[in-house]
Amino acid sequence: MIEEISANLYKIEIPLPMSPLKALNSYVIKDTERNLIIDTGWNQEECRNAMQTGLKELGVDIKKTDFFISHLHADHFGLLSSLTTESTTIYFNRPDADRFRSGFRLDDFVKFARLNGYPENELEAIRQSHPGLKFRAKEGLVFHITEEGDTINVGEYAFKCVATPGHTWGHMCLYEPNKKIFVAGDHILNDITPNIQLWSDEWDPLNEYLASLDKVYELDIELVLPGHRGIFKNCKERIQELKHHHQKRLNEIISILEGSSKNAFQIASQMSWDIICDSWDLFPVSQKWFATGEAIAHLKFLGEKGIIRREMQGQKILFSMARL
């Protein structure tokens, strides 16, 4: 459960029951003054128990502990509700903090999903089971906003904040230039691909994500501490693989759209997904939702580049190849 990664820097594995992610990596840096915990887990029982057991084993006093949260998703952020005390500082990026303050607007997501061809009966299932809704943090948390280039000092570590938007609006990583350690959140994972989703029309997350990958590529990194699965060393190689993965996805969508127009849900159902399931219809509810969000992010990217076009047909958005 607990692994020492570097001097006074530990990983606690927080289980995420029923999630294909399996677990969240929470990183704990111990210091005589204030400890720092990076990312937490869902706001539910198993996560809370694992965190409490881990902190006890490490001898961490929660009253002398601050938090850095890489991004707003409930598996990183939700458990904060159970862990903060009166003296806690929560370091968090501004774009995600703004979204948190405006509340979880599932109705807006559902409306957008409907425009993109999501079937009505499946939308009801999403309302019941969306983990972002079920395991989110309680309202009212107060943040210390971190900006690009800010430094967070803890013990012998001086972490620089690196803005890496894409996986969420304001996703932020930490980089320790002397130790060449990079705390990646969900920006770069090794065994799985970070999910890039879009559920509104207001930004182009894939474009921002690819730019964030290029930015991190320039850093001198020896060890990557990701939000899920194993820690790893070959950061530059992994960045190239991730870029290649998205290029393949974009090409796949182009070939699906060749000769006919389709909505995003139909396109997602024809894409190849890394999941052991006999057919699209048998995908678990949440996986279908993530897949469609991912398809929409790629469609937005292609639309912004002028490669495909979109039009309203009745109550649905249809995509087709742009005529040159």
> Rule CB under 5 A: which residues touch Zn ion?
73, 186
Q: How far is the CB of 196 from Zn ion (least distance, A)?
A: 10
Residue 66 or 186 with smaller CB distance to Zn ion:
186
Residue 73 or 249 with smaller CB distance to Zn ion:
73
Residue 71 or 262 with smaller CB distance to Zn ion:
71
Residue 73 or 130 with smaller CB distance to Zn ion:
73
Q: How far is the CB of 290 from Zn ion (least distance, A)?
A: 10
* Contacts of residue 23, Cβ cutoff 8 Å, sequence gap at least 6: 13, 14, 15, 16, 228, 229
Q: How far is the CB of 213 from Zn ion (least distance, A)?
A: 16
Residue 176 or 186 with smaller CB distance to Zn ion:
186
Cα gap 205→110, rounded to integer Å: 19
Residue 96 or 186 with smaller CB distance to Zn ion:
186
**Structure tokens belonging to residue 9:** 């820097």
Helix H or strand E encompassing 172:
strand 172-176
Write out the E strands in 7-103. Answer: 9-15, 23-29, 35-38, 65-68, 90-93
CB 6 within 8 A of CB 179: yes
Q: How far is the CB of 166 from Zn ion (least distance, A)?
A: 11
Residue nearest to Zn ion (CB): 73
Q: How far is the CB of 131 from Zn ion (least distance, A)?
A: 10
Q: How far is the CB of 18 from Zn ion (least distance, A)?
A: 16
Apex 81 CA angle, 79 and 82, nearest 5: 75
Cα gap 173→10, rounded to integer Å: 17
| Phi, psi for 152 (deg, rounded to 5) | -115, 115
